[in-house]
Amino acid sequence: MFFRFFILFVGSILFMNCTSISSKKSPKAVLVIHGGAGWISRTSVTDSMEHAYAETLKESLLKGREIIKSGGSSLDAVQIAIEHLEDSPLFNAGKGSVFTYHETNEMDSAIMDGATANAGAATGISTIKNPIQVARAVLDHSVHVFLSGSGAEEFAIEQGLKQVDSSYFFTQNNFDKLLEAKTSMKEVKQDKLGTVGAVALDQNGNLAAGTSTGGMTNKRYGRIGDVPVIGAGTYAENGVCGISATGHGEYFIRYVVAHDIAARIKYDHQSIEQASTQVIQTLKTKGGLGGVIGLDATGTVVMPFNTIGMFRGYIPLEGEPVVALYGDD
């Protein structure tokens, strides 16, 4: 029997050429998370895996909310929520990162403070246990915004972040996907257009957003996706919204998705529901698959996507976490 999820009150679920928007009012929350979008269906996920995904998402939400309930910052809540997902082999970030063509792991991360517009981003991380910590360290302790490769790792080590052997990131399932991609000589079908992310609104009204990813299976030439590109995969601005994206990064970069949603809210006075739904729907017509999560200044939750499913969830200041996987949840 499938694990039963709480019913989501927010839709904006996009698939193929159809748009389904919930008629119910979008819920309010202090934290919203995602664990990747893609070909996630009831026939592709076993009962036991469904339960594992749901429990990990719930744990992430509860950890993040505890920060906010204790008077902590939205930045800390985002970081803690993402770290929990990075520590799980279920998601394409941290421990569960996919492999490059050269059988290595190259991870990207970003975090942004909506109160100050300060941001930190890193790419090409290969030995730091929690890549989101690198992004946070850049935000807090660097005059720069975006660090890469060996320089990012040197900085992370100087900041005292935990370094691990590359074997820590090995998972047989992800390695098998790499071998499949190499054998077929084409891009492997992405079960998840993988990324994890979080957006939080703290009790001082400050928004923050963060995102972390292992990238694409079989990627080459130091490819970088949208996650560490501020305004593409990650964006936060007080009074407007916080957004974290997941999907085919090239498209999210080309169309500056996260900032586009914010700009529609700020300058065109659209609601976050309208702005996020329109952007993700239009992205699909351009060939871009994926989705976003977001909160506006009042804590309104959005989670639109244009694939079959997206691992996602939110939590209010009081009450139980709400999680879902599929398009019909």
**Predicted local distance difference test score (pLDDT) of residue 19:** 34
Under 8 Å between Cβ of 247 and 279: no
Under 8 Å between Cβ of 131 and 107: yes
**What predicted TM-score, i.e. pTM, was given to this entire model?**
0.91
Left (φ > 0), alpha (ψ -120 to 50) or beta: where does 185 sit? left
Cα gap 42→15, rounded to integer Å: 15
The H or E element that residue 324 is part of is strand 322-326
- Please indicate, yes or no, if residue 320 is contained in any of the structural domains: yes
Cα gap 258→279, rounded to integer Å: 9
pLDDT in tens, the chain (329 residues): 434 333 333 333 333 333 333 335 789 999 999 999 988 888 888 999 999 999 999 999 999 999 999 999 999 999 999 999 999 999 999 999 998 999 999 999 999 999 999 999 999 999 999 999 999 999 999 999 999 999 999 999 999 999 999 999 999 988 888 888 888 755 544 455 679 999 999 999 999 999 999 998 888 999 999 999 999 999 999 999 999 999 999 999 999 999 999 999 999 999 999 999 999 999 999 999 999 999 999 999 999 999 999 999 999 999 999 999 998 88
> How big, in percent rounded to 5, are the helix, strand and coil portions of the chain?
35, 25, 40
Under 8 Å between Cβ of 47 and 2: yes
- Please indicate, yes or no, if residue 281 is contained in any of the structural domains: yes
Q: How many domains does the chain have?
A: 1
- Please indicate, yes or no, if residue 1 is contained in any of the structural domains: no
- For 154, residues 6+ apart whose C-beta sits below 8 A from its C-beta are none
**Predicted local distance difference test score (pLDDT) of residue 323:** 97
**Predicted local distance difference test score (pLDDT) of residue 45:** 86
- Please indicate, yes or no, if residue 149 is contained in any of the structural domains: yes
SS3 285: helix
- For 223, residues 6+ apart whose C-beta sits below 8 A from its C-beta are 215, 216
- Please indicate, yes or no, if residue 6 is contained in any of the structural domains: no
**Predicted local distance difference test score (pLDDT) of residue 125:** 97
Provide the domain limits for residue 161.
13-326
**Predicted local distance difference test score (pLDDT) of residue 188:** 44
- Please indicate, yes or no, if residue 3 is contained in any of the structural domains: no
- Please indicate, yes or no, if residue 68 is contained in any of the structural domains: yes
Task: Give φ, ψ of 282 to 5 degrees.
Answer: -65, -35
Annotation says 282 is catalytic:
no
Q: What is the CATH number of the domain that holds 204?
A: 3.60.20.30
- Please indicate, yes or no, if residue 290 is contained in any of the structural domains: yes
C-beta neighbour count of 125 within 10 angstroms: 30
Pair of tokens at residue 4 = 């039963």
Active-site pick, 56, 100, 195, 211: 195
**Predicted local distance difference test score (pLDDT) of residue 50:** 94
